[in-house]
Structure 1
Amino acid sequence: MERRNIIIIAAAVVLGLLAVYLTNAYFSGVEAQQERVAEEQQLVRVAVAAQDLEFGSPLTSDTVRLVNWPSQSVPSGAITDMAKFAGTDVAIRPIAQGEPILQSRISNRAVLSENIPDNMRAVTIPVNEVAGVAGFVTPGDVVDVLMTRTIPGGDDEKVTSVVLENAQVIAIDRRASENSTEPQELKMATLLTDQYNAQKLALAAESGRLTLALRNVENQIVGGTQVVTTRDLPGGRLRYSSRSGGGVAPAPSGSAVPYRPSGTAPAGAVSPTYKGPTMTIYRGTEGARQEVNRGTN
């Protein structure tokens, strides 16, 4: 009985080893066949994302796979060796499923500083969450930074100026993903800029309210901006007088405009045409038209 059990166990072990051998041989044969096909068709093995990868996603054999890729169209920086993905690297930019994994999109540290080029700075500023392009500003977008403030001693007149142009957004609040298309409340934005403009942004954040203006990423034209005041708005050149009598007077534009109470006409003004009833009185052959004033008896 014991001998029979030993024989059964030995047979099971042999069959298990045989199954493992055949499985390895099969997959090795498939891999070798794919490599032969790649050589015949001038293809190379390129690492691509096996699934959609977000910022900080680990790169392992479960999330990365090798596929045949035409050798003449291999992207610069593409990875061809799976040994690169030992679980220590992460994605520092979103990578879509089937997209080649490039050296510039991975790092062994999932930190923001890995994305900052030399001589550049990442500065975080508070922005107007309502006017921030309805919440559709996402990492990777390019924006202009506008500042709205009140001029001291200028009758509380507001002005809006461009503080920074063509700045890349590298994070919104705590999000660093470019794939999000859902609008979200925008309170903080991290922009990539040089040190001088980082100082300007820090000062602007303390001086007024900041708003992001989304622009085309291919539009590299900067300059030619102007300061906009309330006078540039429709009806912005009119101001309500605070003196007795009320009335509306034009806002000053370089020279003072004297105050004129309502109901009085300026010198040289043409009197309005009388539109009431009239009568013609003839004295001899000459007639004269007179206005008829309505009164009570």
Structure 2
Amino acid sequence: MAQITKQGFVFILNRENGEPLYPVEERKVPASNLPGEEAWPTQPFPVKPKPFSRQWITEADLSNFSKADHDSLIKQFRSLRYEGLYTPPDLKGTLQFPGTRGGGEWGGAAFDPATTFLYIKSTEAPDIQTIVRGDKVAGASGENAGQGGQLATFQGKARADQFVNTTGYRTWKDPSGNPAINPPWGTLSALNLSTGEYEWQIPFGNDSLRQEKGVPETGQEGRAGPILTAGGVIFISGTADRKLRALDKASGKLLWQTTLPALANATACTYWPKGKQYVALSVGGTKENPSGSIMVFALP
């Protein structure tokens, strides 16, 4: 049994008894400073496989689209609490990486029983957690929690002993709207579960407007997971470039792609009626077609 996580870990367990097939260590993690909160002092870290997502950033990793944007990112970086994975939410503000939209996504991974490879889409996106007391959230009263989600309430008033993250699920960006860290901003990895080693990892998705000349594709955020066919082809969508791609499972080489009418966050599916194979997926709505589409592809 294999489980990918938002932190970029892969836990590989014996499905019969739950024992790890590769070592897992309990390591100390940062303590919480929030009044009344006690974070658990350790968390499990698999020694193998290595993380499929970056788990640590420094000032050298901050993007530099302009001097003003870069200086702003450095100033903000230095003002936040950041001690790596599991840095708890803090009234000072906390940098979280991978963030709430980072690491493994709800689309999941794809397993190949012929090779024991696991194919994993990762998003590399930091968040800033802005923690405020419940009674300090703008407009918070009764059941109104402002932009951070619902507050616990007591007799119709927002409680001061509750805390709210007012910037949840927002990828950290510079003042001009560029990603706050250098690419890749998304990857696709092939993990050999039999050895615990990665066979390949590539940037997945491309921001052509921000890609520098002569360098690899940028990779992009994406929620959709991959599927794998018996013919050795990976199908995956979900990136902001609106592509549906077909890749060679052995190398990650691009075999085919098409541009969809909108973002497709759903994982594709494949089926085989009457000797012909189809690939189908749900595509989001547009101004012209608000309800979205179900799109189906096949060879002639």
TM-score by length of 1: 0.22
Specify the structure having the higher radius of gyration (Cα).
1
Q: Normalized against structure 2, the TM-score is what?
A: 0.22
